[in-house]
Amino acid sequence: MSLFYDTMLAISLVLSIIYLAMWHKHFDIHISLVFVLVPITNLGFSMFARATSLEEAIAGKKIAYIGGCFLLMFIMFMVFSLCHIKLSRFIRVTLMTISTIIYISVLSIGYSDIFYKKDMSFEIVGDVVKINKTYSFMHNVFVVIVITYFAMSIIATVYSYFRKNQVSRTMIYLLCLSELVAMLAYFAGKQLVEGVELLPAAYVFGQIMYLIIIYKITLYDISDTAIDSMVESGSTGFISFDFRFRYLGSNKTAKRIFPELYELTVDKPINNLEIMKTTALKWLEDFKKDNSKNKIYYDKNDKVFLIEIVYLFDGRKNRGYQFYITDDTKNQQYIKLIDSFNDELINEVAQKTAHIVEMHDKLILGMAAMVESRDNSTGGHIKRTSEGVKLLTDEMKKDRFKDLSDEFYKKLIKAAPMHDLGKIAVDDAILRKPGRFTDEEFAIMKTHAAEGAKIVHQILEGTEDIQFHTIAENVAHFHHERWDGSGYPDRLKGEEIPLEARIMAIADVYDALVSKRVYKEKMSFEQADKIIMEGMGNQFDKSLEPYYIKAKPKLEAYYSSIEC
């Protein structure tokens, strides 16, 4: 039986390491304590199963009892915290004191009659280690406190299910399931499998449930960001939804502006509330069809609120949608005042604005050209790929691909020169190497995608054109991702890759194939076309294939007219 306990110990250690990799400073401290104590508790079971003497068996038991005395208590504290139920300091201190006293009595096993009677015997029956013992008073206290912890955890989850609609239903189900499995293992484990303690397996099962829960915490807990104070009590309201238009959460400011949010239930579709059908649901559907429809002005109670819709980004990929809500009443009043001025003033403002935008665009192009000038192998690359993107999107516009707006295509073409800005962070020795890269060099070279996204974000930070900011950052970040998920830097797959990056990838690879590099001659159009077509559905988005085919004659004509 030692193999079973050793396996549970190994699995619990692996799960704790996974938790460490996912750890965030906002995670509840009790979750961390649970992932620390489970392997320790399972170590005790493993030691007991391998014992060859009474002393070794007792040592294993003492370590295993950490689970009953402290682990179950911390799990209960964690459940209360995740269900947003506050336990008083007095209750916490009292339960901690009782558990400590009980564990001190556990440590007296073999020396006193407090927990087990001292007249114990040791035997090994088959491959099962046994301690023949008689329980004492403190063991009865231990059983009572274990039942208490189980009962309090179940009560908290049931209460949250019926009374707290701001707590995720999914999380409640997972917590209840892990508690029920633990109770079954604790009170009926030995009857289910003779001679085997199922608690180690129950603890491992609980770890898996908790990993799923913390994976979802980034969605459900809207305050779990680096700007907690601003989110919770600032002047900006935040509301989050997933891609199925299900409500994920909102902050206090949003609830003050829209009290109807209190009627929504986390994880439930927002179309269950009539007012949401004509407001939030409609706005989300319009944004899904056309990302440029990301700003809505909403009049309520003599105020004008600006609602900006963006994708809910968890640090790796888009997971849903988020509303940013600000009181724009003063700005709208100011706009009305501006509108009262004469056309000459308006034209002058427009000209100055256009001049600033033009200077900004030239600065971006200048930076891109500067980066390109450092690279021996890609002279003229940004100009050619920009033209390639234009030729591809021209064909997509004719076919009204996904009803994308002309503004989207215009901004994508404008963003194309920024796709390789991250190469500025790559050392000259690698960037200017006159030959193929080693594996180590290529690994460094691949960092230019993520670095490029950071640079673009910093350059465009504060811009009012959120759509252009998003498109440019996505193009820089994800133009080396592949449809089958084997690309870099984030190994996104299929439609997880933003459309603008999928378009950029075709233009980028085509230029690399038909252009001369220091380590290769340029390919013929036929060879390049064969490679591009073979890549459709694995490297490239198959739905873009018709537009590449239509654009191919123009691409060949363009590349025939230039020296590349």
Domain ranges, ordered by start, for the chain: 2-219, 228-339, 343-560
**Average pLDDT score over the chain:** 85
Per residue in 379-388, pLDDT tens? 578 888 989 9
DSSP string, 471-540: HHHHHHHHTT--TTS--SSS---GGGS-HHHHHHHHHHHHHHHHS-BTTBPPPPHHHHHHHHHHHBTTTB
| Residue partners of 340: CB distance under 8 A and separation at least 6 | none
- Distance (Å, rounded) from C-alpha 245 to C-alpha 263? 16
Q: Are 564 and 384 in contact (CB under 8 A)?
A: yes
Amino acid at 366: G
The pLDDT confidence band at residue 252, using thresholds 50, 70 and 90, is confident
Q: Spell out a b/e string for 260-281, using b for 16 or more CB atoms within 10 Å of the CB, else e.
A: ebeebbbbebbeebeebeebbb
pLDDT at 548: 96
Cα-Cα end-to-end distance for the chain: 70
Return the minimum-mean-pLDDT range out of 56-60, 317-321, 406-410: 317-321
Task: Classify strands 237-242 and 128-132 as parallel, antiparallel or unpaired.
Answer: unpaired
Return the minimum-mean-pLDDT range out of 54-68, 177-191, 208-222, 514-528: 208-222
- Distance (Å, rounded) from C-alpha 530 to C-alpha 141? 76
Tokens 């002058």 -> residue: 348
pLDDT at 226: 45
> In terms of Cα–Cα distance, which of 465, 457, 414, 466 is closest to 310?
466
| Residue partners of 518: CB distance under 8 A and separation at least 6 | 376, 377, 434, 435
* Token reading at 146: 């274990």
pLDDT at 1: 63
Per residue in 514-562, pLDDT tens? 988 766 788 999 999 999 999 999 999 999 999 999 999 999 999 998 8
pLDDT at 541: 95
Give percent above pLDDT 90 in the chain.
Answer: 38
Q: What is the DSSP letter of 306?
A: E
- Distance (Å, rounded) from C-alpha 137 to C-alpha 101? 13
Per residue in 74-108, pLDDT tens? 989 988 988 888 889 999 999 999 999 999 999 99
Tell me: pLDDT of 305 over 50: yes
Q: How many residues does the chain have?
A: 564
> In terms of Cα–Cα distance, which of 543, 401, 528, 442 is closest to 483?
543
Q: Spell out a b/e string for 436-453, using b for 16 or more CB atoms within 10 Å of the CB, else e.
A: eeeeebeebbbebbbbbb
The pLDDT confidence band at residue 290, using thresholds 50, 70 and 90, is very high
Average pLDDT over residues 476-488: 95
Average pLDDT over residues 440-445: 90
pLDDT at 553: 95
pLDDT at 408: 94
Tell me: domain 2-219, CATH 3.40.50.920, correct? no
Give me the architecture of the 343-560 domain, per CATH: Orthogonal Bundle (1.10)
pLDDT at 338: 67
Q: ∠ CA 297-300-305 to the nearest 5 degrees?
A: 35
Return the minimum-mean-pLDDT range out of 196-205, 371-380, 462-471: 371-380
pLDDT at 402: 87
pLDDT at 22: 82
Local structure of 161: helix, strand or coil? helix
Instruction: Give me the CATH topology for the region 228-339.
Output: Beta-Lactamase (3.30.450)
Helices (H) and strands (E) in the chain, counts: 23, 7
Angle between helices 406-415 and 499-514 (to 10 degrees): 50
Per residue in 135-153, pLDDT tens? 899 999 999 999 999 999 9
Q: ∠ CA 153-156-158 to the nearest 5 degrees?
A: 110
Amino acid at 11: I
* Of the ranges 20-29, 356-365, 498-507, 508-517, the best mean pLDDT one: 498-507
Tell me: pLDDT of 434 over 80: no
Q: Spell out a b/e string for 374-412, using b for 16 or more CB atoms within 10 Å of the CB, else e.
A: ebebbbebbbbbbbbbbbbbebbeeeebeebeeebbebb
Q: What is the DSSP letter of 436?
A: P
Cα distances (angstroms) measured from residue 499 to each of 23, 229, 513, 554: 31, 34, 22, 22
Tell me: pLDDT of 418 over 50: yes
State the sign of the Cα–Cα–Cα–Cα dihedral 88, 94, 95, 97. Answer: positive
Tokens 């779990």 -> residue: 224
Return the minimum-mean-pLDDT range out of 54-68, 140-154, 320-334, 535-549: 320-334
